[in-house]
Amino acid sequence: MLRYAIPWFVGITVCGSAHAVPLKCDIAAKYRCQPGGCESVQPSVWNIVDVEAKTYQRCDAKGCDTYPVSFTQSGAYIVIDLIGRGVVAKMSTDGAMFMEFAGLADVGLVSYGTCRVE
């Protein structure tokens, strides 16, 4: 199913649609990076990408925070920019790869996972 869902996502991202379905991106690995190196941390969040609403939700056990986003196709990837938040995500069009980078003051959080139709 994922093989068909993500190319559909690319199509609606580029062309637009009133019937877009949100995607859930599950995080399989997460790293906390500082100038001295990176360490693995336990993933505790997931994301919901809503093309129709142009939103990105970062969710955990306490709930979800919703942010406005812009989508840009870049070859075989979709770049998701959380406007003004210091967060960018990139997703392959076949759903096999999802990566999110969140920049804090002196820490970078890098998460890897996959996305699927919610």
pLDDT of residue 51: 83
pLDDT of residue 92: 87
Domains in the chain, please, with CATH? Answer: 2-117 (2.40.160)
* Cβ atoms of residues 111 and 43 within 8 Å: yes
Residue 4, pLDDT above cutoff 60: no
* Cβ atoms of residues 112 and 33 within 8 Å: no
Q: The pTM is what? A: 0.79
pLDDT of residue 14: 45
Residue 16, pLDDT above cutoff 60: no
> For residues 70-108, b (16+ Cβ closer than 10 Å) or e, as one string?
ebeeeeeebebbbeeeebebbbbbebeebbbebeeeeee
